Amino acid sequence: MTDRPLVAVLDYGSGNVHSAVKALDAAGADARLTADRGLVMDADGLVVPGVGAFSAVMAALRAIRADELIDRRLAGGRAVLGICVGMQVLFERGLERGVDTEGLGEWPGAVTELDAPVLPHMGWNTVQPDAGSRLFARIERERFYFVHSYAATGWHLHTEPPFPSAVLTWCAYGAVPFLAAVENGPLTATQFHPEKSGPAGIRLLSNWIDGLRAATL
């Protein structure tokens, strides 16, 4: 691996992919938008973006068998970063407008509609990372850009030593806090859009890329 880790941005028809590629490049990666299975598997990191409905994103991922690629990468301890709906589909199920859709099942639990008077949750908000977060190092008090109506409001994955617990980051909006980010071994995800979050988002992506470098040492 060079000083600029190779990051595959999964091309499966989702929006916002070009802004994600530009942000990753600015953060220090060699980012490439691709659906090539070999490149997706061989890259130092894989980014799974996602906008729109949970069911539509899952259908598009399965259409190119990306669910298999994500699972294989994680089984081998290879880094994956999900963004927005790309985070949501990592859970077992998505409940959206009366439709119950099976997710990738990397984490237990369901994604549901936020209990808030105004939806979508759109704009800048602060987050509360757990102690020890590497993703939010030096940016714990920054604001990040959200645009969503659904999220995971609970964490149901319990680990026993020697396996470390996940590092969770929460956000307050509406009646119930929701997960803004998760750091769980090789699998990381954010409900907000780092690529739309200005310098703080670039710093967060840089922190994730630093983890790719450290994994090869």
Q: Write the pLDDT tens digit of every residue in 84-114.
A: 999 999 999 999 999 999 999 999 999 999 9
Catalytic residue, chosen from 96, 106, 183, 195, is: 195
Q: Has 183 been annotated as catalytic?
A: no
Crossing angle of helices 17-26 and 198-215, rounded to 10°: 70
Catalytic residue, chosen from 18, 68, 84, 113, is: 84
Is it the case that residue 15 has pLDDT exceeding 80?
Answer: no
Catalytic residue, chosen from 106, 148, 171, 193, is: 193
| Domain residue ranges of the chain, discontinuous segments joined by + | 6-215
Q: Write the pLDDT tens digit of every residue in 155-206.
A: 999 888 888 899 999 999 999 999 999 999 999 999 999 999 999 999 999 9
Q: Has 171 been annotated as catalytic?
A: no
Q: How high does pLDDT run on average in the chain? A: 95
Class of domain 6-215: alpha beta
Q: State the average pLDDT over residues 119-141.
A: 97
- On the question of a cis peptide bond just before residue 120, with omega within 30 degrees of 0, the verdict is yes
Cβ atoms of 149 and 54 within 8 Å: the answer is no
Pairing relation of β-strands 45-48 and 6-10? Answer: parallel
Pairing relation of β-strands 178-184 and 143-148? Answer: unpaired
- The distance between the two most distant Cα atoms of the chain, rounded to a whole number of Å, is 48
